[in-house]
A = this chain, B = another copy of it.
Amino acid sequence: MKINELKSILQKKGADAALFYNSDPIKINPNMFYFSGYKGLGALIIPSKKPPFLITPYMELQRAKNSMIKRACSMEKKRFFESIYGIMKKNKLKIKKIAIDKNNFTLNSYRHFKKQFKKAKAIDLALDCLKLRTIKTDKEIKFLRKSCSCADKIIQKAIRNFKDFRTESEAAAFLEYETKKLGLELSFSPIVASGSNASMPHHEPLNMKIKNGFCVLDFGVKYNGYCSDITRTIYVGNPNREERETYNTLLSIQNNSINQVKNNKKCSELYDFAVKNLGHKRKYFTHGLGHGVGVEIHEMPNLTLNSKDRIKNNMVFTIEPGVYIPRKFGIRIEDTILFKNNPIVLTKTSKDLLTIN
């Protein structure tokens, strides 16, 4: 995506090329994937005035050639950055000023990089990439819509089958199975948190009987590499009046927060709005109101207290207020939202309080 936009940025900054790398076969460099569609080992070089190319270990070459970048060459059996430097030299690329992504560049990789690129000045592209990624293209919006509709289908199936799950692990396993069966990836490891476990926003599902009370299901898939994110809280057993009220208050705050989303609105104001409406429960709301969603599950904009971000057209982000009473219970309601003149809720699963008996 947006390789030409990146090239303009490089030219503006006087950089000869951008360099992204991935040296861990089980991780994805989000920017390398964003610009190339390639998830494997190696490096992506985007010269400011020439076509981009991938440099990969020989065993990944076939995979690289299946990506959006048509040119791929193989590393020789040398050190990682030595190989990259050699190939850039051979391609007669200027390497006086190289743009790198300092959010995805470790100190030790940089040390190896500097040994080769001795005279190159390294400038940071991290924020530029994050900003480019904030505004989605039509193609990305198509993928994100599809990602959300898949997540909807799967979470609805899980809720319909919820009675059959004995443990949190079983419910999480079901969500994963349905995801993988469709040839999709998870956005993140699903959260299934029942009873007092739900008071930990990042609880990991346990191989223990699902407890009575609120049960938080936080889930998302990746469609063509693009994430969705949805949370529903259901109730196992019969909620009392107070519990129902707490749930419905949070739900109306979530709906009203979505309705507050306007063009150019400060994200920190959206956060403030939710906090104010929580009243004396605000101290139990212990995370941000939301985050951007794209090739990463957490990206810009940040809907937090100190955020400087503003809502713009073609942004995709979550709205997810929550209430967590330590050692007692937790409730979170989350949708993925596309902003296009108006907020469009992409995750459509019902938010009415559902009880499982």
Chain A interface residues (CB < 8 Å from chain B):
24-26, 39-41, 57-60, 62-63, 77, 100, 102-108, 110-111, 124, 126, 167, 169-170, 172-174, 176-183, 185, 188-189, 199-207, 286-287, 297-298, 305, 324, 326-327
User: Closest CB-CB distance, A190 to chain B, in whole Å?
Assistant: 8
Closest to A204 in B: B39
> A108-B103, A189-B185 are known contacts. Are A169 and B173 too (CB-CB below 8 A)?
no
CB closest chain-B residue, reference A111 = B102
- A62 close to B326 (CB less than 8 A): yes
A201 shortest CB reach to chain B, Å? 5
Chain B min CB distance to A321 (Å)? 13
With a cutoff of 8 Å between Cβ atoms, the chain B residues found around residue A102 in the complex are 106-108, 111
Top 8 closest A-B pairs, CB basis? A183-B207, A173-B180, A177-B177, A59-B286, A102-B107, A169-B183, A173-B181, A102-B108
A183-B202 contact in complex given A102-B108, A106-B106, A107-B102, C-beta closer than 8 Å: no
Which one of B40, B111, B182, B326 lies within 8 Å of A169 (CB-CB)? B182
Q: Which residues of B contact A62 (CB under 8 A)?
A: 199-200, 326-327
Q: How far is the CB of A347 from chain B (nearest CB, A)?
A: 18
From the candidates B63, B203, B298, B324, name the one contacting A200 in the complex (CB within 8 A): B63
Of listed A26, A174, A182, A199, residue having the most chain B CB within 10 A: A26
Contact among B202, B206, B297, B326 with A40 in the assembled complex (CB-CB below 8 Å):
B202
Smallest CB–CB gap between A322 and chain B, Å?
9
**Chain B residue at minimum C-beta to C-beta distance from A108:** B102
* CB nearest neighbor in B for A304: B77
Q: Beyond the given A58-B286, A167-B183, A183-B207, could you list 8 further A-B residue pairs with CB under 8 A, ordered by the A residue number?
A: A26-B298, A39-B204, A40-B202, A60-B200, A62-B199, A102-B111, A107-B107, A173-B176
Residue pair A173, B177 in contact (C-beta under 8 Å) = yes
Complex contact B106–A105 (CB within 8 A): yes
Query: Does the CB pair A25–B202 fall under 8 Å?
Result: yes
**Contact across chains for A59 and B201 when beta carbons are under 8 A apart:** yes
| Interchain CB contact under 8 A, B176 and A169 | no
Q: List 5 A-B contacts (CB under 8 A).
A: A26-B189, A57-B286, A77-B305, A107-B107, A169-B181
**A335-B1 Cα distance, complex, nearest whole Å:** 40
Q: Which of B58, B176, B200, B204 contacts A176 (CB 8 A)?
A: B176
How many whole Å from A285's CB to the nearest CB in chain B? Answer: 9
Residue of B nearest to A61 (CB): B326
- Which residues of the other chain, B, contact A199 by a CB distance below 8 angstroms? 62
Complexed CA–CA distance, A286 and B174 (Å) = 36
The chain B residue with its CB closest to the CB of A77 is B305
Q: Which of A40, A103, A106 has the most CB of B within 10 A?
A: A106
B205 touches A183 (CB 8 A): yes
Contact B106 A103 (CB under 8 A): yes
Which residues of the other chain, B, contact A305 by a CB distance below 8 angstroms?
77
